Structure 1
Amino acid sequence: MPERREHDFDAQVDTVTHAYGSLPLSGTPIGEIGGMKSTPDTVLAMVIDAMVKSRPISHQLAQSTICGLINNDYHKIEKLSGTTWEERTDLLRQVGYNRYREQCATNLGNLSEFVLNNYDGDLNNLLETAHGDREEIRALVKEIKGVGDLGVELFLDNVQSVWPSVAPFVDSRSLRTAEELGMGSDVHAIYSKLQKDPVAMSKFVNGLSEIRLEKKQPELEEM
C-alpha cells in the first residue's frame, strides 16, 4: 500500500489495540490475574462470556453479569456442575440479568453437563479433539446449547489469546467496524502488524467491539 496509507493503517491498528483494546475477561478476577493461560477455568469463563454477550442486552449488563458469575466461581466446573437451576436463577436475578434469566440458568446447566460428559471437565480437550483446527473448533463449540453463531465468534475472539492456533480471528461484526474505520478486512495484515501476537490480536478485536458498542470515533493522535 502507499506509504501514507500504510502509516495510517499502522497507526489505526495501534490505536484500536492499545487505546481501546482490553484483555479477554477484563474487569473480572480472571482478567486481573495477568498473563492469559489456557486453564480449564479460563476457557470455561470464555464460553460463559460468549453465551451472555451474544444475547441482545446492554454491554454494561453483560459485563456485570459475567463478573457476578465469575465472582461466584461459576467458571469452575466443579462449582457450576454442583448448582441447581434455582440457585443459578437466583444468582442471575441478583446481578440484574432478568430478561433471559431462566433460559440462561438452563443453558449454564447444560454447559456443565456438556463439558463433563464430552470433555472430562476441561474444554482444552475440545481443542485436542479438533486438532487445533479453527473450523473444527467452531463446529464443536456450536454444539453447546445457548451458543449460536455469534456466540461462537465471540468465543473465538477471546480464546485465540490462549489457543494460538485459532489466531488470527476477527468476528464478523468487528471486521465490519475495521472496514468502516478504513483498515480494510485483511485479517492477516492486521496480525502481521501486531507481530503475530495472538494476545494482541484478541485485544485488537475487543478494541473494535468497544468502539462499536460505545459508538466511539478513534483519533490517531491518541497514540
Structure 2
Amino acid sequence: MDTVRALLDKAGRTYAEEAGIRLADKPAPLYQLLVLSTLLSTRIKADLAVAAARELKKRYPTPRRMLDASWQDRVDALGRGHYVRYDESTATALGDGARLLLDDYRGDLRRARGDDLATHLRRFPRLGPVGVEIFCREAQAVWPELRPHLDRKTLDGARTVGLPADGKKLAKLAGNDVHRLAAALVRVSLDRELAKAVRTA
C-alpha cells in the first residue's frame, strides 16, 4: 500500500536507531533501549530524550557503568543532551534502575523476557505504562514474540493517515517491518506536518 511505503520512507526510523542503539538480543543494547524508554516516558520532547540517550550510551552503555558513575556524572550527561527539566530525578532513577537490573537480573534484561515482561519492566523506576509500551514497540524488532506490538499511540497515528486502526491489519500491511511501521505511526501521531507529507506522498 502506498501509504505504508510513504510512512516507512519518511518516518520509519526507530527511536533506538536515532539514538545510535544497534538493537540486538544482547544485554548492552537491550539495556540502552531500557534507558531510552525511561527518558521517553517523561513529558519532554522526543528529540531531547533521544539526544540524552545518545549521550548516556556513549559514556554508560551498560548497567555496571551507569551504576559506577556518580549521580552528578549522570546529571551532567543528561544536561549535555539538553534533558534538563527532569535531570536530577532521572539521574537518580537511572542509578536505581541499573542497580535493580544488576541485582535481580544479573544485568541482562533477557531474564525478564516472557509472559510477565510488562510486570518486570514496571519494576524499573520511571518506567510506567507508557515506557513499557515504548520498550515493547522497539524491542519487537529483536523479540519476535512481541510482534505485532501496535499500541494506542500507533493506532492514533494510523487514523491520522487514513490507515485501519486495527493491529492485525496493520501488521499484515507491514510484514517484517512492523517495528518500523510502529515507529512511523507514533511519529505522525505527534507531527501534523509529517502526517500531511505522508498523506500527500
Alignment of 1:96 onto 2:66: no
The answer on 1:54 being equivalent to 2:54 is no
Q: What's 1:169 paired with?
A: 149
The 1:100–1:220 alpha-carbon spacing in structure 2 relative to 1, beyond 3 Å, is closer
Structure 1 window deviating more from structure 2 (52-61 vs 161-170): it is 52-61
Q: What is the Cα deviation at residue 112 of structure 1?
A: 0.6
Q: Deviations over 1:89-134 (max 9, x none)?
A: 122223222110111001101111111111111001111xx3xx3x
Task: Point out where structure 2 has 5 or more consecutive residues left out of the alignment.
Answer: none
Count of residues in correspondence between the two structures: 199
Greater Cα shift, 209-218 or 54-63: 209-218
Q: CA RMSD in A?
A: 1.7
TM-score, normalised by the number of residues in structure 2: 0.91
Does residue 1:214 correspond to 2:200, yes or no? no
Contact 2:32 2:57 in 1 (8 A): yes
Q: Judge conservation of contact 1:11–1:220 (CA < 8 Å) in 2.
A: no
In the TM superposition, what are the counterparts of 1:140-179 in structure 2 within 5 Å? Answer: 140-179=120-159
Tell me the equivalent position of 1:182.
Answer: 162
CA offsets 1:17-49 (integer angstroms, 9 cap, x no match): 232111341233334xxxx42111111111111
- Rg bigger for which structure? 1
Q: Report the alpha carbon displacement of residue 188 of structure 1 after superposing the two structures with TM.
A: 1.4
Aligned counterpart for 2:7 among listed residues 16, 22, 26: 16
Give the match for residue 78 of structure 1.
64
In structure 2, the partner of 1:202 is 179
Q: More deviation in 86-95 or 60-69? A: 86-95
**Whole-angstrom CA distance in 1 between matches of 2:137 and 2:109:** 16
Matched letter for residue 121 of structure 1 = G
Residues 163-203 of structure 1, C-alpha deviation per residue, up to 9 Å, x if partnerless?
110110112122112123221222112212222x2xx1111
Q: What secondary structure sits across from 1:92 in the alignment?
A: helix
Q: Is the 8 A contact 2:52 2:77 kept in 1?
A: no
The CA deviation at 1:157 is 0.7
After TM superposition, the score normalised by the length of structure 1 is 0.82
Larger RCO (CA within 8 A; separation ≥ 6): 1
